[in-house]
A and B are shown apart, each in its own frame.
Chain A
C-alpha cells in the first residue's frame, strides 16, 4: 500500500540478565521509536526478552563475503590458539 517502504531495522534481544543481546530478526519502521515498539510487538510476545536494541540496518558495517578467505581462513591453521591441548580434569563441569 505504501509507495515507499519504511527503512529496515535490526532487532537484538537480551533474553535474561547476564546474557548478551542476540540478533533475532529485522522489521520495517518509520522511525527509531516505532522500531522499538514494533520489536516489542513482534519479537517479545512470548516473553523472549527483557531488553531490546534496535539499530537501523544501514548503520551496520558488514564484512564482504568476497573477503572471507583473507579474513577468516588464516585462523583455521592456527590450532595453537584453541585451548585443546589441556586435559580437562574429571569432575569439572562448567568449562
Chain B
C-alpha cells in the first residue's frame, strides 16, 4: 500500500513536468521572437529532464518492469495524474505566460518543501529542479509584469489569460489521500500549507503588473485522479504517436 501511494505521488510530479514540457515545446517554430523561442525550448527541456528523473524513480518503486519511456508514452489519458492547469492549451503568448506563472509560482514552493522530503530520491530531484524552476519563474514573472503593465492590448490579453486559468489553481492546494499520506510520512508538504505563501506571491506580482486578482469561485479539479479536460487527449496523441506507431523505437 505504501509503495502504491508513493508511486502515485511521484507519478503526479512526473506527469506535471512532462505535460508542461510538451506544452512549451509546442512553441518551437512559432514563438514571437527567436530569443524567446530558445528560452521556451530550454524550459521545455528542463521539464522533460525533471519528468525523466521522476519517471525513473516511479518505475523503480513500481517494480513491474516498466521504464521511464513506457510510463511516458504508453499510458492512456485516464492514467495521467497531472493537474488540469498544466494541460490547458497554449493560446496566445499571454495565456501561456499566465499558465506558466500560476503553475511555477506554486511549483517553486512545492519543490522547496520537497528538498526536505524524508524520501531522499525525491529530495535529490527537487534540489536539482528547484534551481531550474527559480529561473523559469523569474523569467515568466518578468513577462507577466511586462505584458500586464504594458500596452492596452498586452494588458487585456494578460488579464484574459489569468481569468481564463484561475479556476484551475485550486487543485494545487487541495489534498486527497495520496497527499495526506505524503504529509504524514513527511514525503511532501500538505498542499494547503503552501497556499497562503503562494497567494501572497501572486498578489504581489499582480500588483506590480497592474493585474486584477480574480475572485476565488468555483474551482475545477480531477486531473490528479485521471479525470482530464478534453485537451489532454490531443496532447498525448501528438506526444505518444511515435512510440505507439513504432513500439520500442529508439534514436
List A residues at the B interface (Cβ < 8 Å). Answer: 1-2, 6, 27-31, 33-34, 37-38, 40-42, 45
Question: How extensive is the interface on chain B, given as a class?
Answer: 10 to 19
**Would you list which residues of chain B between 8 and 66 have a CB under 8 Å from chain A?**
32-36, 38-39, 42
A-side contacts of B36, CB under 8 Å: 38
B32 touches A37 (CB 8 A): no
A6 CA to B32 CA, complexed, in Å: 11
Least CB distance from A47 to B in Å reads: 14
- Summarize A's interface: helix, strand, loop or mixed: mixed
* Interfacial chain A residues near B34, Cβ < 8 Å: 28
- Contact: B39 with A37, CB < 8 Å? yes
User: Residue among B32, B138, B139 with the most chain A CB within 10 A?
Assistant: B139
Top 10 A-B pairs ranked by shortest CB distance? A38-B35, A41-B39, A37-B139, A41-B42, A41-B38, A27-B35, A33-B142, A42-B38, A1-B32, A28-B35
Would you call A34 and B32 a contact (CB within 8 A)? Answer: no
A34 touches B42 (CB 8 A): no
- CB 8 Å contact bits of B116-150 with A (1 = contact, 0 = none): 00000000000000000001001100100010000
Residues of B within 8 A of A45 (CB): 42
Q: CB distance A2 to B32 under 8 Å? A: yes
Bound complex: CA of A29 vs CA of B39, how far in Å? 12
Residues of B within 8 A of A30 (CB): 146
Complex CA distance for A37 and B136, rounded to whole angstroms: 10
Chain B residues whose CB sits within 8 angstroms of the CB of A6 once the complex forms: 33
16 contacts between A and B (CB under 8 A): A1-B33, A28-B34, A30-B146, A34-B146, A37-B138, A37-B139, A37-B142, A38-B35, A38-B38, A38-B39, A40-B135, A41-B35, A41-B38, A41-B39, A42-B35, A45-B42
| Bound Cα distance from A31 to B147, whole angstroms | 12
CA–CA, A42 to B37, complex, Å?
10
Residues of B near A38 (CB, < 8 A) are 35-36, 38-39
Residues in B with CB closer than 8 Å to A33 are 142
Q: In the complex, which residues of chain B have a beta carbon less than 8 angstroms from the beta carbon of A40?
A: 135
| Cα(A72)–Cα(B139), bound, Å | 43
- A27 shortest CB reach to chain B, Å: 5
Chain B, residue nearest A5 (CB): B33
Smallest CB separation, B200 vs chain A (Å):
23
Q: How far is the CA of A38 from the CA of B135 in the complex (A)?
A: 12
Question: Which residues in A have their C-beta under 8 angstroms from that of B139?
Answer: 37
- For B39, list chain A residues within 8 Å (CB): 37-38, 41
Digitize B193-208: 1 where CB-to-A-CB distance is under 8 Å, 0 elsewhere. 0000000000000000
Most-contacted residue by chain B among A6, A27, A37 (CB, 10 A): A37
CA distance A38 to B33 in the complex (A): 11
Chain B residues lying within 8 Å of A28, measured Cβ to Cβ, are 33-35
Kindly state the separation between the CA atoms of A28 and B34 in the bound complex, as whole angstroms: 9
CB of A8, distance to nearest CB on chain B (Å): 11
> Complex: how many Å from CA A60 to CA B218?
54
Asked if B42 and A29 make an inter-chain contact with CB atoms under 8 angstroms apart, the answer reads no
